[in-house]
Amino acid sequence: MKKFISLMNGQSFRYLWKDVQGKAYLTNMLNDILNEKNHYELLDYFNSKDNKNVRSYIFLECHNKIIFFDFNLYNDQIRINLDYQIMNVMQSSTSKKLFLVLFNAFNGKNKVDNNIFSIYKNKYNNKDIKFLLSLSYEEQMKYADKDIMDYLYKDNKEFYHLYLNEIKTEENIYNLFNV
């Protein structure tokens, strides 16, 4: 059984962004969701230490907008409310249009409400979104590009340590707010 590396993790996203094909996959997926053709820069809001209380955030920026990515693994309304608060604070400090793209690890119908895109597991998603929302290695293999899978699963101890730390941090934060 192969170890599973979820794409619904800030460190996985950052790691894929560093790879040419990984960045192209993520950019194309985002452009499909937003129905646009933009080039994005990844802003650095990542937890690169062994801090179990600070999570990574994913912000992409282009010429006229900032996209905030988040992953809702636990059907957690508290996390969504915090995301809205982050959006409000950010909106007051930038003239760019802000978008939230929230990937949910459970079944539902995709929704768009103003600048908030809620993406759920469902049969209507394209293979790129199904790949990102996969919850097992076997599920990933159904939708993945071989080169991206090879890159994601190559032996990189530093990335894997940050990835596992991010999982632990997410669990700690979830448990803190949901006692």
Residue 172 amino acid letter = N
Q: Which pLDDT score is estimated for 179?
A: 62
Q: Which pLDDT score is estimated for 51?
A: 57
d(C-alpha 48, C-alpha 56), whole Å: 8
Helices 146-153, 20-34: axis angle to 10 degrees equals: 120
Tokens of 10: 């800030």
Tell me: the pLDDT tens digits for 43-78? 877 555 655 556 778 899 999 999 999 998 878 788
d(C-alpha 39, C-alpha 61), whole Å: 8
> Phi-psi category of 19—alpha, beta or left, where left has phi over 0 and alpha has psi -120 to 50?
beta
Helix (H, G, I), strand (E, B) or coil at 66: strand
Q: Which pLDDT score is estimated for 56?
A: 75
CB 118 within 8 A of CB 110: yes
Q: Which pLDDT score is estimated for 47?
A: 56
CB 118 within 8 A of CB 129: no
Q: Which pLDDT score is estimated for 29?
A: 93
Q: For the chain, which residues make up each domain, given as ranges?
A: 10-177
Mean pLDDT in order along the chain per 10 residues (179 residues): 85 92 94 92 71 73 92 83 87 91 94 93 95 94 92 91 85 72
Tokens of 170: 């997410």
Q: Output phi, psi for 135, to 5 deg.
A: -115, 10
Pairing of strands 57-61, 65-72: antiparallel
d(C-alpha 55, C-alpha 70), whole Å: 11
What is the rounded average pLDDT for all residues in the chain? 88
- Can you tell me which residue has the tokens 């530093």? 158
Pairing of strands 97-107, 116-121: parallel
